[in-house]
Structure 1
């Protein structure tokens, strides 16, 4: 499992782990039922505190991405399609919000932004 931690940027380490693991699960790179590294092993591999990995795993479990089996470890939870869709929609909204801010700053109208989105989305439909 490739998780890259950045000490710059202001994003807490546990949040970086959580986001990257969600991405791996949503893209199917971590399959349903797949065992995750133990919190201690992940902490050792990333050279961070076990408390940080524990917080990331707790967040992932709270959001339904992983399940914990006492004495056995943490596993990728069965895929909840609504959860996957909601997470994807949240990420899209985050990126679109940034695009809107950039457009407003650059004097781009809503009509121009909408046209650009239609063009970009249309290109992806034909690929």
Structure 2
């Protein structure tokens, strides 16, 4: 698991860690029961504060992506398929809003967009 932090990002460091680990879990790269790096080890690897890493892990646990076993570490939680589905739906909605914005700029109609989507589906 590689986590890359960007000083240019508008997202705080703990948010970047949260988002990247969450994406690893949703994509299946991290599976149920996989152990995450310890808070201290991750902080050391990323050269950031332990407090920042702990905050990211706390938020991941609060949202149900990971769980902590006292004295043992943090692990990927069982996937809540409804939670993952909601996450994907939110991402799709975001992409659709961007498509809508770009379509207006390009003066595309609803039918034009549907036709583009149909062509893309046939290509796959």
What is the number of equivalent residue pairs in this alignment?
124
- Structure 2: 5+ residue stretches without partners: none
Partners of 1:56 and 1:105 in 2: CA distance:
38
Structure 2 match to 1:43: 43
Secondary structure (helix, strand or coil) at the match of 2:11 reads coil
The alignment's TM-score, normalised by the length of structure 1, stands at: 0.87
CA separation of 1:122/1:18 partners in 2, compared to 1, >3 Å: closer, same or farther?
Answer: farther
Q: Aligned residue for 1:84? A: 84
Corresponding residue for 1:29?
29
CA distance in 1, matches of 2:77, 2:62: 11
Task: Tell me the distance in 2 between the aligned counterparts of 1:115 and 1:59.
Answer: 41
TM-score by length of 2: 0.89
What's 2:6 paired with?
6
Post-superposition CA distance 1:56-86 (Å, at most 9, x none)? 1111111111011122111000111111111
